[in-house]
Structure 1
Amino acid sequence: MSAADLARLQFAATTGIHWLFVILTMGLVPFVAIMHTRAAFTRDPVRRVVWERMARFWGQLYVINYAVGIVTGLVMEFQFGLSWSGLSKFAGNVFGAPLALETLIAFFAESTFLGMWIFGWGRLSRGVHTTLIWLVALTAYASAYWIMIANGFMQHPVGHEVRDGVAYLTDFGALLTNPNALVALAHIALAALTTGGVLVAGISAFHFARGTEETDLFRSSLRLGTVVSTLASFFVIIVGDLQLPLIRRTQPMKAAALENGDIAQVRAQLVKEHGPGDYVFAHDWLRISMDAMTVIGNTVSTIMLIAVLLLWKDWLVRWRPLAYLLTALIPFPFIASVAGWIVREVGRQPWIIYGELKVEDALSPVSRASLVVSCTVFIAVFVALAVTNWTLIARFARRGPVATQLGTTEPIADEDPHGHADGKQRVPAL
């Protein structure tokens, strides 16, 4: 493999694994926020307890995913300088600010709000505590917005001019409203909600299939997960189709590959527009990924619609094979989302910034040996983190609410003169 291929493999593998954390973060946090809100403002004391235990159980799974995933996120932006210094030199003036804002939001604002929410159980008022989890959700989606602004510029560069081989921002509004970024963000948000809903429904169905005493908790979780994922999976297909006219207009070679168009004619058009070059990329990867995303998306949408109908009279959980089917469905939205990411990134080759900067010109002057070492180490570490994350999530999900530690406190007896309860302080545990 060439140095460029190794750099692409490293970035593709690390970003792809990181995306598995991101889509679950975006997909699960709205559910936790809804549950916490219901717990805070439901008047029925029995239902309040159920919703609070739901928020703590699913919130713990979210915290595990966020804590491990943020480690993978630290590496992403460093790779621009490590392997793609040409990209930073050319476009740093344009999307340096969006990437900086994403870092501030994800690693400072979101982490701060989440930490306050974790340690706020029993310490903060209901309104403040509920506001914190909604701020976590808001910053998660704001972080995704800034990332998609940067990626949208790479897909369809707008609002800039090139002077002496360097891009300079001339229209910040055009950058922020780039259709290639906004439509893709809507598609990603709906895919994330589908993923989160399938996870919530699948784990809930698993507990019903095994037999659980937590029927109220998992019945409410199952209903919420199936309804949200059904709606989101339906609209994610519609929004995905909305991207096709934009692709035809801005990336004709990708459109030709997806729609079995005239590749030779498009290549001639690109040569005329951008000069000599081989603008034909690995179309097989594109078609396979597109087919996988489409088939999985339609399958998940159909199954979740059937699941919603079977919620009536608890038919969904009374028939054990159906409950296990929902559990087996959990990985598929993740697979579909990775396939969609491949379609988006592979389809613009050989450009790293479409029509402006080619991949080979963006590569850092790094030796092939260095890239072999860094590629091996990064992929090994990221795979280990992914395995750790899913092992922890599976373990706590399987144990159920009885193993939930988020928001728990020590039982309080009469305080001693030093403000302790039987010698123990009331300290929330993680």
Structure 2
Amino acid sequence: MEALELARLQFAVTGSLHFLFVVLTLGLAPLVAIMHTRWVLAGKPLHERLTRFWGQIYVINYALGVVTGLVMEFQFGLSWSGLSHYAGDVFGAPLALETLVAFFLESTFLGLWIFGWGRLPKGAHLACIWLVTLTAYASAFFIMAANSFLQNPAGALARGDHMELVDVGALFTNKTLVFSFPHVVGAGLFTGAMVLVGASAYQLRRRTSEVEFFTKSLRTGVTMASIGIFLTIGFGYAQFAGIQDGKFKGDSAAVPLGFMIEIGQLLAFVVLFLMLPLIRFLPRWRWTHPLLMLMTPLPFVLAIMGWLARELGRQPWMIWEKLTVADAMTPGLTPPMITGSLVAFAAVLGLLALVDYVLIARVVRRGPRDLDLGAVREPALTY
């Protein structure tokens, strides 16, 4: 393979593996915040245990996801210096804001939430998890703003050998952003909710002693999955109104796009017209539980297919009709050099994904007992 093809493959592999963590983080954050809100308002021990259990899974995924984001930064700096030189003043602005939001605000509020159990007043503690959720979505917004600039370079003009930002408002109201961002939000919510459904079905299938706990989790998952898939499908189709002529005509983009649409429509039918109407019976119908477990990874697959379709549909442009992918690549890179970094990045990200799955699966198998999150080992304030 040539250097350009290897660089594109490297970006596809690193981006896809990183997005697995991102989409689950975006889905679990609001779900945990809702559970915490129920606990504060109702004061029921069940809601506290739900918050701690799913919150621990969220923390595991977030911690490992941060590391995958660092690998993405290395990948950008190594292979795409041409993009940085030509449009760094524009493309880098939302990425810098995302870094400030994700690595400072989001992690700060998450740290306060993790270590604030039994120590912070209940209102302040609840505010922390909602601020975590809001900053997670702000982080996603800035990332999508940067990506939407590549799809449609609004708010910037070419000046000599580089682009300059001339309209911040246009950058953050990009026509490819206003529908793609809520589409991603819906996909994240659907993914997180289906993890609740699949994990709960697994435990109920095993005839767990925590029937009430996982019945509540499964019903919450089905409800939120219905909202998530509705948003995903609706805003997904809305995006087509702003697509430039020439996108998605190549076979490389058509395959993931077609897969995403067909399977997404099937899942929407199953969730909205089968699972949601039967939400009261699903926890008791053990014959449905293997099917629900098999559905759990599909939202992740669809998320990757959607991301690949969005990126492949822009080829051969890195910035639509402004900068080609070939010109965006770092000069002087050779196939052996890119192959080495590709293997290294893929190994690191693949290992992190495996560790993430193993740790989450271990928590799910163990159930809501002996949880580290929220375990108070010293005298503390009570709610």
Q: Which TM-score tier does this pair reach, normalised by the shorter chain?
A: over 0.9
Aligned partner of 1:78 in structure 2 is 74
User: What are the equivalent positions in structure 2 for 1:6-155 lying under 5 Å apart?
Assistant: 6-42=6-42, 45=43, 48-155=44-151
Residue 329 (structure 1) shift: 0.7
Q: Give the direction of change, closer, same or farther, for the CA distance of 1:18–1:427 in structure 2 (3 Å limit).
A: farther
Pairing partner for 1:362 from 324, 328, 338: 328
Equivalent-residue separation in structure 1 for 2:75 and 2:64 (angstroms): 19
User: What are the equivalent positions in structure 2 for 1:308-319 lying under 5 Å apart?
Assistant: 308-312=276-280, 315-319=281-285
Equivalent-residue separation in structure 1 for 2:159 and 2:319 (angstroms): 16
What is the TM-score normalised by the length of structure 1? 0.86
Is 1:340–2:306 an aligned residue pair? yes
Residue identity in the other structure for 2:275: A
Equivalent-residue separation in structure 2 for 1:333 and 1:20 (angstroms): 10
What are the ranges of 5 or more consecutive residues in structure 2 without an aligned counterpart? none
> Is the contact between residue 24 and residue 192 of structure 2 (CA under 8 Å) also seen in structure 1?
yes
Is 1:253–2:225 an aligned residue pair? no
Residue 427 (structure 1) shift: 8.9
Cα RMSD after superposing both structures: 1.4
Residue identity in the other structure for 2:217: S
Residue identity in the other structure for 2:301: I
Is 1:331–2:331 an aligned residue pair? no
What is the CA deviation profile of residues 3-32 of structure 1, one whole-angstrom value per residue up to 9, with x for unaligned ones? 111111111101110000000000011000
4+ aligned runs moved over 6 Å, structure 1: none
Equivalent-residue separation in structure 2 for 1:22 and 1:235 (angstroms): 18
What is the CA deviation profile of residues 324-359 of structure 1, one whole-angstrom value per residue up to 9, with x for unaligned ones? 211111100000010000110000100000000001
> Is the contact between residue 116 and residue 132 of structure 1 (CA under 8 Å) also seen in structure 2?
yes
Residue identity in the other structure for 1:190: G
Residue 199 (structure 1) shift: 0.8
Equivalent-residue separation in structure 2 for 1:181 and 1:88 (angstroms): 21
Residue 81 (structure 1) shift: 2.0
Aligned partner of 1:406 in structure 2 is 373
> Is the contact between residue 148 and residue 182 of structure 1 (CA under 8 Å) also seen in structure 2?
no
Residue identity in the other structure for 1:326: L
What is the CA deviation profile of residues 31-80 of structure 1, one whole-angstrom value per residue up to 9, with x for unaligned ones? 000000111121xx5xx100010000000000010111110001222322
> Is the contact between residue 118 and residue 380 of structure 2 (CA under 8 Å) also seen in structure 1?
no
Residue 234 (structure 1) shift: 2.1
Aligned partner of 2:360 in structure 1 is 393
Is 1:301–2:285 an aligned residue pair? no
> Is the contact between residue 396 and residue 403 of structure 1 (CA under 8 Å) also seen in structure 2?
no
Bigger radius of gyration, 1 or 2? 1
Residue 235 (structure 1) shift: 2.7
Equivalent-residue separation in structure 2 for 1:309 and 1:354 (angstroms): 44
Secondary structure of 2:176's aligned partner: helix
> Is the contact between residue 296 and residue 333 of structure 1 (CA under 8 Å) also seen in structure 2?
no
Is 1:4–2:4 an aligned residue pair? yes
> Is the contact between residue 40 and residue 126 of structure 1 (CA under 8 Å) also seen in structure 2?
yes
User: What are the equivalent positions in structure 2 for 1:180-329 lying under 5 Å apart?
Assistant: 180-247=176-243, 250=244, 252-255=245-248, 257=249, 283-305=250-272, 306-312=274-280, 315-329=281-295
What is the TM-score normalised by the length of structure 2? 0.96
Q: Which moved more, 1:133-142 or 1:7-16?
A: 7-16
Residue identity in the other structure for 1:287: A
What is the CA deviation profile of residues 237-289 of structure 1, one whole-angstrom value per residue up to 9, with x for unaligned ones? 12111111211xx2x1225x2xxxxxxxxxxxxxxxxxxxxxxxxx2232221
What are the ranges of 5 or more consecutive residues in structure 1 without an aligned counterpart? 258-282, 411-424
Equivalent-residue separation in structure 2 for 1:95 and 1:361 (angstroms): 16
What is the CA deviation profile of residues 378-408 of structure 1, one whole-angstrom value per residue up to 9, with x for unaligned ones? 1111111101101111111111101422111
Residue identity in the other structure for 1:238: G
Residues matched between the structures, number: 379
Equivalent-residue separation in structure 1 for 2:254 and 2:160 (angstroms): 38
Equivalent-residue separation in structure 2 for 1:400 and 1:284 (angstroms): 45
Q: Give the direction of change, closer, same or farther, for the CA distance of 1:88–1:58 in structure 2 (3 Å limit).
A: same
Secondary structure of 2:372's aligned partner: coil
Residue identity in the other structure for 1:392: L
